[in-house]
Amino acid sequence: MKRELPLFVTAAVGLFMILSFFVPHQVVSVPADFLQQSAVIVVAFGIVLGGANLLRLNLQSVVKRQAGWPYRLVLIAGLLATVLIGLIEGRDFQAAGTRSTWIYDEVYSPMSSAMFALLAFFIASAAFRAFRIRTVEAGLLALAAFLVMLGRVPLGNALTAALPEGLRLGPIAEWILRVPQNAANRAILIGAALGVMATGLRVILGIERSYLSGEE
């Protein structure tokens, strides 16, 4: 019963939600809306659970003095300080001039932007040290990357502005994105969609049970 009941609930809810996609009658749509609202509430709880889990794992690492524990300590301090300040400030925590908004504007926002900005440096370094053209396929990849990178920026277009339309980097980059890239992307998308459908069916039919306490 401990396993059968969750499997039955999953199958029933899964089939019902599929049904709601095709049957707009209120007998189906009202309970389906209720289930979707419940999903939003469950996700909100999930955020709290995720935070608690993060805290637990990092506290354990700090206590055991595992590698990089001082960073984990900073993480815990940041997490607790942000949550506590938010709780103290209450419902107005997002109002102008609060400590919560200061944390967002002066700590979270610049750090988040800086992390993303560092990518530019690492991409340049990786392009120099790791992008090796050893095969025909790698050569084609490098050529496509070359054309798209230059075709997507004004400098590339300015350099080829005197050439006929079909030879300019901008239209060539657009063609690469629109035709060969699109074809490969569509194949991946269709493959992934079929995989998702198959996994969904396996869950509904009770074949896939890994979500029940990691059981196979």
Partner 1 sequence: MRLFEGLARLDRRWIFAVTGLLVLIPLLWPLNLPLSSSPPVRAYHAAIAAVPDGSHVLVSCDFDPAAKPELEPMARSTLRQLLAKRCKVVVVVLYQGGARLVGQIVREVAAERHAVYGTDIVDLGYKAGNEAVMVLMGQSLPNTFPRDQDGLDVRTLPIMRGVRNYSSFPLLVSLSTGYPGTKEYVQQVQGRFHIPIVAGVTAVTAPTMYPYLQTGQLRGLLGGMAGAAEYERLLDERGPASRGMDAQSLAHVFVALCIVLGNLAQWGRRRGDGA
- How many Å apart are CA 194 and CA 198, to the nearest integer? 6
Task: Give least dist CB 216 to partner 1, A.
Answer: 27
Task: Give least dist CB 157 to partner 1, A.
Answer: 6
Look at residues 56, 96, 98 and name the one whose alpha carbon lies nearest to residue 79.
56
Under the binding rule (CB under 8 A), the answer on residue 105 touching partner 1 is yes
- How many Å apart are CA 208 and CA 191, to the nearest integer? 19
Under the binding rule (CB under 8 A), the answer on residue 186 touching partner 1 is yes
Under the binding rule (CB under 8 A), the answer on residue 64 touching partner 1 is no
Region from 59-67, 72-80, 169-177, 197-205 binding partner 1, contact rule CB under 8 A: 169-177
Residue 80, judged by CB atoms within 10 A of its CB (0-12, 13-18, 19+), counts as: exposed
163 neighbors 153 (Cβ within 8 angstroms): no
CB nearer to partner 1: pick between 71 and 131: 131
Identify the H or E element spanning 48.
Answer: helix 26-63
Under the binding rule (CB under 8 A), the answer on residue 65 touching partner 1 is no
Q: Around 74, how many Cα atoms within 13 Å sit in the side-chain half-sphere?
A: 4
Interface residues with partner 1 (CB under 8 A) are 21, 29, 33, 36-37, 39-40, 43-44, 46-47, 91, 94, 101, 104-105, 108-110, 112-113, 115-116, 120-121, 123-125, 127-133, 142, 145-146, 149-150, 152-158, 161, 170, 174, 177-178, 181-182, 185-186, 189
